[in-house]
Amino acid sequence: MPVVNTAGRRVLTGAVCAGLLLAGCAAPRAAHDPAAAGRTTATTRPAPGAPVLTAPAEIPGLGPATRSRIPAASTQALVVKGDGPHSHQSTAVLYERDPKTGWKAVSQPWPAHNALRGWTAHHVAGDLRTPIGVFALGDAGGRLPDPGTALPYDRSEEFNMPGTGFLGEPLEGSFDHVVAIDYNRVPGTSPLNKVRPLGAGKGGGVWIHVDHGGPTRACISLQRDDLRQLLIALDPAKKPVIVMGDVGTLGR
């Protein structure tokens, strides 16, 4: 029976293990070398004076759900924010979008009125609330001559509004200039067109018109000079829209 030198085998095995341990430790020490790590970090830093890239600006106060409803092709948006869900007072600002820098206000804040009972996401005829949403602005008209808008403009004596408003204020002249909001209407037609694609029960005839000093039935109203500025600024090539609702809903 051969004699096994167990002592020698133990010596050899110990030498092999020591070598493996030395080989295994060398690579991690090189990877975590502070000097090497510093060199790696330095190469990822922007060069002095290099431009800092920022995301295009968004319209202030609009949440992701509201922003997602603005068509990608639209580069002009009138944002009307109601003071509260049951308020008839609002503020309107016109924005334009640059592909690189994003949205920028191109008007001063304009005081506005909306419907007597505020806002709703489910407008029906006669509820005295303004529909919440994002709608196209493509057609205009009025009793007075076109002030110089690029939108199709229908001048007609039918834009006549006699009587008084909810606060007893005269309504005469409210429709001297109007912009049709594409809620339950046929785009590309006069604001006077009474065809209601969603049915008469969903209301219609929702316009931006001259302010008469009080709440509306469903429309948005602006001061006369502000509305004229809006008409002149609106550009069909920019696919203008109106983004409207109470401030809380628009922020979602």
3-state secondary structure of 191: coil
pLDDT digits 0-9 by tens, 41-73: 444 565 677 666 688 999 999 999 999 999 999
pLDDT at 10 over 60: no
Average pLDDT of span 240-245: 98
Q: According to the model, what pLDDT value does residue 50 have?
A: 66
Q: 119 with 132: CB under 8 angstroms?
A: yes
Tens of pLDDT, residues 125-179: 999 999 999 999 999 999 999 999 999 999 999 999 999 999 999 999 999 999 9
DSSP-derived secondary structure letter, 216:
B
Q: If you average pLDDT over residues 22-38, what whole number do you get?
A: 39
Residue 234 contacts residue 149 (beta carbons within 8 Å): yes
Contacts of 85 (CB under 8 A, 6+ apart): 118, 119, 246, 248, 249
46 to 41, 43, 51, 101: CA distances (angstroms): 11, 8, 9, 21
Q: Mind listing the pLDDT tens digit for each residue in 74-127? A: 999 999 999 999 999 999 999 999 999 999 999 999 999 999 999 999 999 999
pLDDT of residue 45: 62
At 139 the pLDDT is 98
Which domains can be identified in the chain, with CATH numbers?
A: 64-250 (2.40.440.10)
Q: Model pTM?
A: 0.80
pLDDT at 249 over 80: yes
C-beta of residue 178 within 8 angstroms of C-beta of residue 191: yes
Which stretches of the chain are DSSP H helices?
6-31, 34-44, 64-67, 224-233, 247-250
Q: Is residue 117 within 8 Å of residue 123, measured between CB atoms?
A: no
Out of 22-36, 65-79, 194-208, which region has the weakest mean confidence (pLDDT)? 22-36
